[in-house]
Chain A
Amino acid sequence: MDAEAAKLIGAGIAAMGMIGAGIGVGNVWSSFFSAIARNPASKDEIGANIWIGFAVTEAIALFALLISLMLLFVA
C-alpha cells in the first residue's frame, strides 16, 4: 500500500472518533431534556451548566476531526 492511500485510510479511521462524541453529545442533551421534563423549575440552573458538558464532549469530536484534517492536508 502506498503512503498516499494509507494517509487517506488513516484520515477515515481517525474520523471514527467522532462516533463516541456523537453518542456523548446526544447523551448530554437527552439528559438535559429529561431533567427539565421532570422538574421544569430547574431549567435555568441546568441551562447554564449544560454548555460546559456540551463543550467538553464536543471537543473530543474536534480532536478527531483535527487529526483527520492534519492527515489530509499537513502530513
Chain B
Amino acid sequence: MATDAEGELKDAIDAHGAGDSPFHPMEQFEIHPLGRIEIFGLDLSFSNASLWMVIAALVSTSFLLFAVRGGRIVPTRLQVVAEMLYDVVAGMVRDNVGSEGRAFFPFIFTLFIFILFCNVLALIPGSFAVTAQIIVTFLMAIVIFITVTAIGFMRHGARFFGFFFPAGAPAWTAAILIPIEIVSYLSRPISLSVRLFANMTVGHVLFKILAGFTILMGVAGILPLIVLVGITALELLVAVLQAYVFTILTCVYLHDAIHMH
C-alpha cells in the first residue's frame, strides 16, 4: 500500500518536474522575492523568508508587550506565560554562565524568543520555515561564535589559547590534544547551526511527504493522516526543544569563554 502510494508520489513529482510540483517536499523551502530591491548592484530583495522573520519579530514583541501591560502584582494568564519565558531563560543564564552572564541576558533572551517564534510560526500550514534555511541558522551561529571568541580573548588575552590544552594533561599529549580541541572548537558554529536547520527541515519534509500520501491514497489516506497528527505534536515539542537547545548551548559556549572550562 505504502509502496504504491510512493510510486504515485514519485510519478506526480516527475510529471510536474522537480521544482514546481505541489507534491515536491523541497518546494516549500524555495525563496521567492516579494519585491525587487537593488542597492549598488546587490540583490537585497524582500523575500518570503524576510517576511516571516519580520512577522516572527513583530508577533513576539507585541505578544510580550501585550502580556505584561499594566504589570500587575497578581498576574493575568498571559503575564504568567511571559514571566515563565523570562524565568526559563534567566535560570538558564544563571545556571550555565553564572553571575557575569547577567550582561548577556537581553541578547540570549532575544535569541531564544526569536528562534522559538520562528519555529512555532513555521508550524502554521502555509507559512514559511525560516529556521529551515541553513543561511539563517548559520548566520546566528557564526555571530555567536565570533562574539564568544572575542569575549574570551578580551577577558583572558593570550591566555585564552590555553583553552585548547586542558590543564594538567601530560605535555607529550599536546600533539594529539591541541588539534582535536581546535577542530572541535571550530566545528561549534557548524554543529550549532546544522542541528537547528536539520531538525526543522526534516520535520517539514516529513509533513509534506505524509500530506502527499494522504491526498494520493484516497480513503486509506486516513492512516497517514493519523500519523501526521502525531508528527505535528512531536514537531511542536521539537520546535520548542531546539530553541531551548540552541540557547543553552550558547550559554555553555559563553561560560567556556568567561571561565575557560
Whether B198 and A51, one on each chain, are in contact in the complex, defined by CB atoms closer than 8 angstroms, is no
Tell me if B119 is interfacial: C-beta within 8 Å of chain A: no
A56 proximity list for chain B (CB < 8 A): 195, 245
Question: How far, in angstroms, from A74 to B98 measured CA to CA in the complex?
Answer: 45
Whether A55 and B242, one on each chain, are in contact in the complex, defined by CB atoms closer than 8 angstroms, is yes
- Most central of B198, B205, B249 by chain A CB within 10 Å: B198
A-B contact count, CB below 8 Å?
37
Question: How far, in angstroms, from A28 to B202 measured CA to CA in the complex?
Answer: 22
Closest-by-CB residue of A relative to B201 is A66
Q: Is the interface of A mostly helix, strand, loop or mixed?
A: helix
Whether B241 and A51, one on each chain, are in contact in the complex, defined by CB atoms closer than 8 angstroms, is yes
- Render B14-51 as a binary contact track against A, CB cut-off 8 A, 1 for contact: 00001000001110000000000000000000000000
Whether B202 and A55, one on each chain, are in contact in the complex, defined by CB atoms closer than 8 angstroms, is no
Whether B25 and A73, one on each chain, are in contact in the complex, defined by CB atoms closer than 8 angstroms, is yes
Whether A74 and B202, one on each chain, are in contact in the complex, defined by CB atoms closer than 8 angstroms, is no
- Most central of A62, A63, A69 by chain B CB within 10 Å: A62
Tell me if B210 is interfacial: C-beta within 8 Å of chain A: no
- Render A6-41 as a binary contact track against B, CB cut-off 8 A, 1 for contact: 000000000000000000000000000000000000
- Please, how many residues of chain B have a CB less than 8 angstroms from a CB on the other chain? 18
Q: Is the interface of B mostly helix, strand, loop or mixed?
A: helix
Q: A69-B205, A74-B26 are in contact. Are A55 and B245 (CB under 8 A)?
A: yes
Tell me if B165 is interfacial: C-beta within 8 Å of chain A: no
- Please, how many residues of chain A have a CB less than 8 angstroms from a CB on the other chain? 12
Q: A66-B202, A69-B202, A69-B205 are in contact. Are A55 and B24 (CB under 8 A)?
A: no
Residues of B within 8 A of A (CB): 13, 18, 24-26, 194-195, 198-199, 201-202, 205, 241-242, 244-245, 248-249
29 pairs from A and B in contact (CB 8 Å cutoff): A51-B241, A51-B245, A52-B245, A52-B248, A55-B195, A55-B241, A55-B242, A55-B244, A55-B245, A56-B195, A56-B245, A59-B194, A59-B198, A59-B199, A62-B198, A62-B202, A63-B194, A63-B198, A65-B202, A66-B201, A66-B202, A69-B25, A69-B202, A69-B205, A73-B13, A73-B18, A73-B24, A73-B25, A73-B26
